[in-house]
Chain A
């Protein structure tokens, strides 16, 4: 079956972005483990986490983590499916579903983070 040219994975820029996003995820995960499980001496409770998450810095970190994780993971999924799905209509459908999932989760997650308030 012939490949359809409409949508496809690959390209130098996408390959590079996938590596950079992977590196970013590794750094953020390291910071997460360091802050939460090494530097936090008190007992981890809802109050402790909520207070931290309500700060602008952590909101920014969490939103960027969500966006980069979704982009990295869903692009990886698309790269795998790209190998096996060759029919044009199916490729467009899968690409569309992946794009919608990414958009919905980024918007929903970002709104949740931005509107999150704790305490005073």
Chain B
């Protein structure tokens, strides 16, 4: 057990005069305890007004993405003692509109995602007697692409997104490439259409913040590079 001070960035939309402020909570934290466990304990035992999103507590839903000690992480996958600090700063993810305390609006995330048509597009009818099959090699191309949980950590860490709130975002690029790389997909033009845009692919400057921020260790920058090459092939031949 160790006494840890949590410095939580708070904001109440009903108290605009106060704006954002930092509130400290001291907590005895046990080995293996995650930041989400600590936030739950604070909310249940110290301050019921503290607001944050959480759902699966297993690193699958992406709800509890937040900025912990300056880095975008999932609260449920971040062990407090592994941060090796008596003080832990917790903030809402940057770049998104704040709703309350650690809860941000993910509207920009959804807008970017829908722009790339994030679903399998087929033009030929499926075989009548079986599914659309893939070889193990074709399936393996999707590794590192399909695992995205849409937590928004990557896009929140992206300077291009900070500068342009309509920027489609690395999460959507990764998702677009997940379908462009899919052997069953026949709609790469449709997926890429929105990307060749002033808010699209060309605004990525290969800064790699998205790679560092991804709690699933995925590589949106690589996907963006592949999509740029694909767009060049389509546009120039």
Whether the pair B163, A83 counts as a contact (CB closer than 8 A) is: yes
Contact with B along A87-106 (1 / 0, CB 8 A): 00000000000000000000
Binding site for B on A (CB under 8 A): 3, 5, 8-16, 79-80, 82-84, 86
Q: Of the 9-residue stretches B6-14, B76-84, B229-237, which lies at the interface with chain A?
A: B229-237
Whether the pair A79, B198 counts as a contact (CB closer than 8 A) is: no
Closest B residue, CB atoms, query A5: B198
- CA A22 – CA B160 in complex, angstroms? 22
Whether the pair A3, B202 counts as a contact (CB closer than 8 A) is: no
B146 to chain A, nearest CB (A): 26
- CA A89 – CA B235 in complex, angstroms? 30
- CA A13 – CA B236 in complex, angstroms? 7
A82 to chain B, nearest CB (A): 8
List chain B residues, Cβ under 8 A from A82: 203
Q: How many B residues, CB 8 Å from partner?
A: 20
- CA A71 – CA B37 in complex, angstroms? 54
Whether the pair B196, A12 counts as a contact (CB closer than 8 A) is: yes
- CA A14 – CA B203 in complex, angstroms? 12
Whether the pair A10, B228 counts as a contact (CB closer than 8 A) is: no
Whether the pair B202, A11 counts as a contact (CB closer than 8 A) is: yes
Closest A residue, CB atoms, query B166: A3
- CA A68 – CA B232 in complex, angstroms? 21
Majority-rule SS of A interface residues = helix
Say if the beta carbon of B216 comes within 8 Å of chain A. no
Whether the pair A12, B231 counts as a contact (CB closer than 8 A) is: yes
Closest A residue, CB atoms, query B198: A8
- CA A79 – CA B204 in complex, angstroms? 10
Whether the pair A12, B232 counts as a contact (CB closer than 8 A) is: yes
Say if the beta carbon of B205 comes within 8 Å of chain A. yes
B234 to chain A, nearest CB (A): 8
Closest A residue, CB atoms, query B164: A83
Query: CB within 8 A of B235: which of A8, A13, A80, A86?
Result: A13
- CA A15 – CA B159 in complex, angstroms? 19
Whether the pair B205, A10 counts as a contact (CB closer than 8 A) is: no
15 pairs of residues in contact across A and B, judged by CB atoms under 8 Å: A3-B164, A3-B166, A9-B202, A10-B201, A11-B196, A12-B196, A12-B232, A12-B234, A12-B235, A14-B202, A15-B228, A79-B205, A80-B205, A83-B160, A83-B203
- CA A47 – CA B72 in complex, angstroms? 59
Closest B residue, CB atoms, query A85: B163
List chain A residues, Cβ under 8 A from B169: none
Tell me the B177-197 residues at the A interface (CB within 8 Å): 196-197
List chain B residues, Cβ under 8 A from A10: 196-198, 200-203
